[in-house]
Chain A
């Protein structure tokens, strides 16, 4: 059942659940951050509207910098701003930032420990018809591997706004990952958001704490994971669903606890299986508690053009695939 303490959206499983893209949360969060803190500045690389930087740019024209199609320049200018008392937010599509400007981010932002917040938009395969060149599917891996970098992958637009706002309070580099497409709003204004903490969204009903499986997800696929857990209830399979919006640093306590209670884990993300959230979990379990684990994500392949729902299904990240992975993980106990 849904964890009642977290006050999640009651309409979560309804067909008419409110849908919004997580990038909208970046837009509203950035605007609020700008209102709260005069040191917040924003940069964009010729994608001001689609990265939702527009509202900030209109309200604070003096604190907004259009760099043109020049992601490497954008990252390095931000690095300079970030070591000079400003809190720069840089936005482009994730394939280009942190894709194209990886080394600039590594050296001038991460190694410099400059206070830059990197917003990677249109991440994942759900970008859809633009095709593989525009579908960022390795960004979590490259950002997670980078010292000093924190990584957030919010599950809905509301959480995206909170993650954006919380990035202002974190001193040092942060990577925020957003999606293009609309997805169900899972959280509510009362749902707590604590950076670095993973939240148990779904848990076995009744008093028992044991479960058959623990699903750890991030991004919009948290919703698919919840749908899978709910569907499995009918088969008397009990599950935990953990929203690990902070991929780095991982909330080791909560994740190890649910893994312990379930004895099998499935990771779910819109990213390559290699190096993403699943990779982070596998590192954690290998070190502390080896456990049967299955991975839902892209399996060492590029995506292609298509509708988001078609692509998620074709590339094995749909609700059916999550259920299959759960059963495989359980069978390995």
Chain B
């Protein structure tokens, strides 16, 4: 346990010091919330029956989970792997699972802060109420963080070099974020995009978040959405178990 907290502290330090990564994975969802909130926050989105800012708040938390727990985690783990840092850590008595656990815990802390900032901006700039069911919201965030982090670790096995990591991972998560309707409602999308959106985990994570935040739904209200997110998490986990390595791939 002492080792675990020792490592979480170090991981926090490493995250915040890496300004570029912190910008893309932590601040960008916040900045997009401000920009798009200013653009269409006051419009009423008929198809969703909500105001733009209400819609966007849950969407940016969804975008945040993809940016922080999936893309940010995956890129930093590939970079560390290729720099030989993961390999070096394996030579120490720190249990491998304690290391991975600490990285995940640290990522979750970052995501929670991000979600809290988004909710506060919603409250004070766009007069979106703070959600009533905070425990259900926390449960949804944990579910999303765990599943997207599993996918993030899973995709590291498909990336062979540091240089390729942001290209590959951005190519996956940016289209996913847009198709999943984190920025705009997918209800206006053409049929084939809707079909894709329907199988993507981010669509369902964002729906769960939106239901809890806007409609006071319980965490467990939409079992099928939970199942889709969890299924993707399981696929990520299998990918991680098979493809995650501690030693550089390109060496």
Q: Do A and B bind each other?
A: no
Residues of chain B at the chain A interface (Cβ within 8 Å): none
Residues of chain A at the chain B interface (Cβ within 8 Å): none
